[in-house]
Structure 1
């Protein structure tokens, strides 16, 4: 499975009993299912470095990824004046990875050198405007050459009467099954025939958002995660001090605990300061800090730019060591630099067009946004990403 540092996915958790109420026929408006919004996002990502985990912490990390996501949003009201929102998202990524091709260097190009990942997601949200609460359910699927994943989730939100405060609760679970692949040198030799090919992940998200005044909004988010199963990537090599070789081996459980705070401050009508800080710790010894700042600025009523910067710093996992620095007696071992000590910088800008008559005069093309970012890591990994988003309403 590919290594890309800049990806996130999520789904939702809810409580159905919050919406048990009698019909409110006085406020009922007959609504047919209608199309609210269509979003298309396309991005190109490229990275390069010299610490590939596939070859034991040395060697090329060159990787390119072309990703496309298409999303439909629909809605309708029921007889109780509750809003039902439906989402259909389809993502398709195609990547090439020079490091993955080193699983079996004797081949010119192996199945792992390039692959296409397909990941559809279905979601449903029920919003009770009278009670100022909503619930949601979602299901997702993802497949690559070495694994498949099925995800489920649900959500619940509750706002205060004046809409100045909102509590959110989300739960998500992913059930992954690996097609276990060993480096060519270890096949039939160091393979564990009883290796569990499954990996399960469960996360809970608790959030509290508060409007402080007309200019300042704050939110606090805690997102504990529990993982169990095969958490090592078995085709990643580890070389020991004595020159021997084995496949990456890691504990079969991992607990993660990130907690963050977000603050948005409105500097008049044209400038917004969006800031975020997160502290992260896990059961493998990794501790990390993230600080972000994005500043959207309106150049005209219909054009804005959004420069942004993110700083990230983490300590090494207890089980990490570089090439040929592990002891053969170690119980767990990895040379994956994603688990090493490093600092990173991610910066760039976006430009957004939202003219009232539509982009290029096309009325239904509501918004067009271009974004570019550059990622730099202290381990000499460099990456660039450019994306295009088009919104139709």
Structure 2
């Protein structure tokens, strides 16, 4: 009996010592982000077409946009990361230049760019995101705030997200919410500014509220699937103040080949959007992966759309991957859309913006990626981890064509 008591005491001492040791000894956990990372991103976009909304749905849509961006991710400790995303979007637009087509003594035409100040502008954006991960990395919280500004527009936004991983991290559920508070500095077509019968917008604010839900699951060693649902409510000035509309029941006034606007685009002051989608990724072998995506969209303006895409990453070497891709888009027109000079003055809402028309679009893409997880190549004090270069060509059946060049460079600070 004494031996049993002695053995029990010894076991109790050992267990107590182990528990004390576990509480006082540091537990190793992998940092969420090992070191500061810097991403240099850039894109160049160009388009052309003949359905400019600024001139009432008929006119040049020529536009170029250059967008350099820098993203800095800083580990604050083992669990917390701060991300600063800052960029500018500098564009030149032949269509928006025709907000005032009579700023020169030459001819005025919807198919010819004017030389006015509205021809070009710069959008500046800054987004800050703070994220925290639990010790077991199964819970991730984040909060974000943003600012955006250009000549006739200012926006402030904030939001957050939560992600929960379980089933040995094979399953993930996430929820995100964002609020954007925007203010227009309304600019109207030149011929309407001094028109006594023209009514300006009383409220130049626009608020957007979004809620997103996501679910992803690793089904097998080769298959991963995800589902998403996004709900968006917008309120306020949803029209673009400088986009013209011409009425078929009002006599046209043409000055130097330019048809003057009878009014500006007028749309309801609320819009509710729903988008539901899914992804399926299939790992064929060490050289090929198939990535598919589908999304259905609908809103209370009468638009329904379907998006389907496929990407086939092809691994050429352990560091180089090719990315051929294809995307198809189909959309029905909004209840308030009509082409150039086909609206009636008795209508409450009207637009000739072909982004709200019915159309189909095809996008063909190709990219090349370079990845070196050890970041052996250096630029000053930064190790080059990855390079991503992409080209995409976009075509609508309305005639709009666009090309997008983009590049990304990911560096790790030593």
TM-score, normalising length: structure 1: 0.89
Paired position in structure 2 for 1:387: 406
Task: Please state how far the C-alpha of 1:111 moved relative to its aligned partner.
Answer: 2.5
1:281-329 residue CA offsets vs partner (Å, 9 max, x unmatched): 0000000000010111100111110001100000000000001111111
Does the Cα contact within 8 Å between 1:319 and 1:333 map onto a contact in 2?
A: yes
- Runs (5+) with no aligned partner, structure 2: 1-22, 105-114, 252-261
Distance in 2, matches of 1:230 and 1:352, equals: 41
1:247-293 residue CA offsets vs partner (Å, 9 max, x unmatched): 10000000000100111110111111110000000000000000010
Is the aligned partner of 1:41 residue 2:64? Answer: no
Paired position in structure 1 for 2:249: 242
Distance in 2, matches of 1:145 and 1:345, equals: 32
Is the aligned partner of 1:135 residue 2:141? Answer: yes
Paired position in structure 1 for 2:111: none
1:193-223 residue CA offsets vs partner (Å, 9 max, x unmatched): 5520000001100001011000001110000
Paired position in structure 2 for 1:52: 52
Q: Quick one: structure 1 residues 285 and 364, their matched pair in 2 at CA, closer, same or farther if it must change by over 3 Å?
A: same
Task: Please state how far the C-alpha of 1:361 moved relative to its aligned partner.
Answer: 6.3
Instruction: Map 1:290-305; keep pairs closer than 5 Å.
Output: 290-305=307-322
Distance in 2, matches of 1:34 and 1:120, equals: 24
Distance in 2, matches of 1:42 and 1:314, equals: 29
| 2:173 alignment partner, one of 160, 167, 174 | 167
1:168-200 residue CA offsets vs partner (Å, 9 max, x unmatched): 000011110000111111113244355200000
Distance in 1, matches of 2:354 and 2:204, equals: 23
Does the Cα contact within 8 Å between 2:377 and 2:383 map onto a contact in 1?
A: no
| 1:146 alignment partner, one of 131, 134, 152 | 152
Is the aligned partner of 1:339 residue 2:371? Answer: no
1:225-256 residue CA offsets vs partner (Å, 9 max, x unmatched): 00000000011001111245111000000000
Q: Quick one: structure 1 residues 216 and 24, their matched pair in 2 at CA, closer, same or farther if it must change by over 3 Å?
A: farther
Deviates more, 1:260-269 or 1:356-365: 356-365
Distance in 1, matches of 2:357 and 2:242, equals: 18
Does the Cα contact within 8 Å between 1:359 and 1:368 map onto a contact in 2?
A: no
Distance in 1, matches of 2:201 and 2:35, equals: 50
Paired position in structure 2 for 1:206: 213
Paired position in structure 1 for 2:122: 116
Distance in 2, matches of 1:236 and 1:74, equals: 42
Q: Quick one: structure 1 residues 30 and 216, their matched pair in 2 at CA, closer, same or farther if it must change by over 3 Å?
A: closer
Instruction: Map 1:72-91; keep pairs closer than 5 Å.
Output: 72-77=72-77, 83-91=79-87
Pick the structure with greater CA Rg: 2
Q: Quick one: structure 1 residues 25 and 329, their matched pair in 2 at CA, closer, same or farther if it must change by over 3 Å?
A: farther
Query: SS of the counterpart of 1:41?
Result: strand
1:48-97 residue CA offsets vs partner (Å, 9 max, x unmatched): 000000000000000000001100001133xxxx6001101111111000
